[in-house]
Amino acid sequence: MQAPWSATGRPRVVVLAAANRPRVLEKLDEIVTVLRHGAELIAVDCDQSYDFQSGDEIDLVVVLGGDGSILSAARRMGTRQVPVLGVNLGRLGFLADLGEEELQQYWPRICRGEFPIDPHIMLRCCWQPARPGNPRTQPGEPRKVAEQECREEVAQLALNEASVLGGPPFSMLQIDLYVDGELASTYSCDGLIISTPVGSTAHNLSAGGPILHRRLEAVVISPLSPHTLTMRPVVDHCDRIFEIYVRRGHDNVYAVCDGRLLNPLGPGDCLRITRAEVPFQMLRLPHKNEYKTLREKLGWGGSPRLEESD
């Protein structure tokens, strides 16, 4: 997708700065000075006070910080997603992988709209409370999809993943996963993750799940420490309805979206996960690609042996 400001060459920009990071505050004035050359700054937000639903015309959101700052930006934008450029002033930086020196180099070309914008799927995560008089379906029986509307006050967008996790006493959970109303499996495990391609290098990767190309329209279903070793991660299409119930658990089982608590999960409650109506949008720079990121961030360069000279 072409940058929407390419016709004017002067994007309207909101800057989101992670004020809890000393390096961000140290570099903020310098970076803002760079951004003012060629762009109209609508706001510089250091305290998460900017309202994306205010009606301001925005072309680009520049996020200063790390990947957590980008996850926060995606959540705050909600259904009004604006293209994002991440400037890495954090540590690892899978998403925010543009250095501050590179920003100065590429900013004039960014303002001219020379680089494309990639859409990435997000998840809509809803908590559905148990309904009185309607017990949970027995294992193996189909369910009616979307029997109940999700409660909007307990719904979130997730860019990385939605998961069911258990707290203390940290005993094993039994989790039912339904896909499009049909029972997929009952997992005996410590938790279950449904990850987007963007999130496949996050919690999913630590749990032994595969890495997906960011622009795939897919999700990964990854059980945490499954009791049955044949329970492996599964890649599925994102245009399906995933419903998670805790068949056997304890008082501290939670639905979590991008590391944030959505709601506790009690008997009969459901975590319902669907593809979000809007995609996350990110500016793609020509010198960045996923394999390069994996080599640099995860050390995929290896240690090739040099040929011995005769």
Q: Does 123 score more than 90 pLDDT? A: yes
Could you tell me the two tokens for 263?
A: 């709601």
Contact 173, 191 (CB under 8 A): yes
Is residue 39 within 8 A of residue 11, CB to CB? The reply is yes
pLDDT digits (tens, 9 = 90+) for 164-186: 999 999 999 999 999 999 999 99
| pLDDT, tens digit, 9 for 90 and up, residues 125-150 | 999 998 664 445 554 555 554 455 56
Tokens of 270: 């459901």
Q: In this predicted structure, what is the pLDDT of residue 272?
A: 96
Phi-psi domain of 104 (left: phi exceeds 0; alpha: psi -120 through 50; beta: other)? alpha
Region 22-48: mean pLDDT is 94
Q: In what order do the strands lie in the sheet with 84-88?
A: 40-45, 12-17, 60-65, 84-88, 280-283, 117-120
Compute the distance between CA of residue 300 and CA of residue 310 in angstroms, rounded to an integer. 29
User: What is the per-residue DSSP string for 232-301?
Assistant: --EEEESSS-EEEEEEE--S-EEEEETTEEEEE--TT-EEEEEE-SS-EEEE--TT--HHHHHHHHH-TT
Look up residue 259 and give its two tokens.
Answer: 């590391």
Q: Which residues contact 120 (CB under 8 A, 6 or more apart)?
A: 159, 196, 197, 198, 214, 215, 279, 280, 281, 282
Q: What is the Cα–Cα distance from 205 to 222, expressed in whole angstroms?
A: 9
Condensed to tens digits (0 to 9), the pLDDT of residues 37-69 reads 999 999 999 999 999 999 899 999 999 998 999
pLDDT of residue 18: 87
Point out the residues that are catalytic: 67
**Residue 129, exposed/middle/buried by CB under 10 A (0-12, 13-18, 19+)?**
middle
CA dihedral 28, 34, 40, 46 (to 10 degrees): -10
Between the two ends of the chain, the Cα-to-Cα distance in Å is 53
> Which structural domains are found in the chain, ordered by start?
12-120+279-298 (3.40.50.10330), 123-275 (2.60.200.30)
For residue 262, pLDDT over 90 is answered with yes
Whether the ω angle into residue 108 lies within 30 degrees of 0, i.e. cis, is no
Please list the residues that pair with 87 across neighbouring strands.
64, 98
Give the distance from CA 190 to its chain's centroid. Answer: 21
> pLDDT tier at 19 (50, 70, 90 boundaries)?
confident
Residue with more model confidence, 141 or 271:
271
Question: Who has greater pLDDT, 144 or 219?
Answer: 219
